Amino acid sequence: MALEWRYALDNIDWDELSDLYRVAPLGNKNAAVLKTVFAASMFKCFVYDAGRLIGAGRVLADGVDCAYLCDVAVHPGHQGAGVGKAIVSTLVILSKNHKKIILYAVPGKEPFYRKFGFKRMTTAMAIFANPAQALESGLVSED
């Protein structure tokens, strides 16, 4: 069966999306929070296999200057089958008219994103709600 792609928020089961992020594993993301962040995102996609959500991603963007690709998740049973690659490719294409497309990757996943043309930024900085966790997971450094 072919995968079904959706680009709108109609009929999204936010609890199912929350479960996807948990098993992906990309952490515990509350269903209500996911509804808020996806609603605020210019581009989003949801991938279904036989009616079951197996992948998702979004882009927070201003329409001209900056697009931030984030929250790309693929169910473990479908990882390695090209679903993540298709999601990222789709979101990059949707964001193509922006001056820059940025993301931050889980440490170790940088080679995956390099395939799409992403380069390491030398000036990127961030403030995280949980700085100790960001430091421990390798998202930021003290220097």
Domains of the chain with CATH codes: 4-103 (3.40.630.30)
End-to-end CA distance of the chain: 49
| Whether residue 25 has a cis bond before it, omega within 30° of 0 | yes
Going by DSSP bridges, is the β-strand pair 52-61/43-49 parallel, antiparallel, or unpaired?
antiparallel
Torsion of CA 83, 61, 43, 70, to 10 degrees: 30
Read off the pLDDT of residues 22-60 as tens digits, 9 standing for 90 and up. Answer: 999 888 999 999 999 999 999 999 999 999 999 999 999
Low-confidence ranges of the chain (pLDDT < 50): none
Enter the pTM of the model: 0.90
